[in-house]
Structure 1
Amino acid sequence: MNNPLVRDIGILIARLGLGIILLTHGLQKLTVWGQSGTSAAFEGMGVPAASVSAFVATWIEILGGVALTLGLLVPVFGALLFLVMAGAFVIVHVGNGVYVADGGFELVAALGLGALLLAVVGAGRFSIDHILGSKLPFLAQSAPAEREPARSAV
Structure 2
Amino acid sequence: MIETDLTALLLRATVGATMIAHGWNHAFGGGRLAGTARWFESIGIKPGRVHAALATATELGAGVLLLVGLGNAAAAGAVLGTMLVALVANHLRNGFFIFNKGEGYEYVLMISVVALALAALGPGRVSLDHLLGLQEIAGHALTGWTGLLTAAAIGAGGATALLALCWRPTDTGPAS
Relative to the length of structure 2, the TM-score reads 0.72
Map of 1:76 onto structure 2: 74
The answer on whether the counterparts of 1:46 and 1:92 sit within 8 Å (CA) in structure 2 is no
Residue identity in the other structure for 1:44: S
* 1:17 equivalent in alignment to 2:14: yes
**Any unmatched runs of 5+ in structure 2?**
145-176
1:138 CA displacement: 2.4
Q: Partners of 2:110 and 2:39 in 1: how far apart?
A: 22
**Closer/same/farther in 2, CA of residues 78 and 143 from structure 1, 3 Å limit:** closer
**Any unmatched runs of 5+ in structure 1?**
145-154
CA-atom RMSD, angstroms?
A: 2.1
Q: Partners of 2:110 and 2:142 in 1: how far apart?
A: 26
Map of 1:137 onto structure 2: 136
The answer on whether the counterparts of 1:26 and 1:57 sit within 8 Å (CA) in structure 2 is yes
**Closer/same/farther in 2, CA of residues 93 and 143 from structure 1, 3 Å limit:** closer
The answer on whether the counterparts of 1:39 and 1:51 sit within 8 Å (CA) in structure 2 is yes
Q: Percent identity?
A: 30
The equivalent position to 1:98 in structure 2, one of 72, 85, 96, is: 96
Q: Aligned pair count? A: 140
Q: Partners of 1:46 and 1:98 in 2: how far apart?
A: 21
Residue identity in the other structure for 1:38: T
Map of 2:57 onto structure 1: 59
The equivalent position to 1:46 in structure 2, one of 41, 44, 52, is: 44
The answer on whether the counterparts of 1:35 and 1:54 sit within 8 Å (CA) in structure 2 is yes
The equivalent position to 2:28 in structure 1, one of 16, 27, 31, is: 31
Q: Which moved more, 1:119-128 or 1:8-17?
A: 119-128
1:141 CA displacement: 4.0
Q: Partners of 1:75 and 1:60 in 2: how far apart?
A: 14
Relative to the length of structure 1, the TM-score reads 0.82
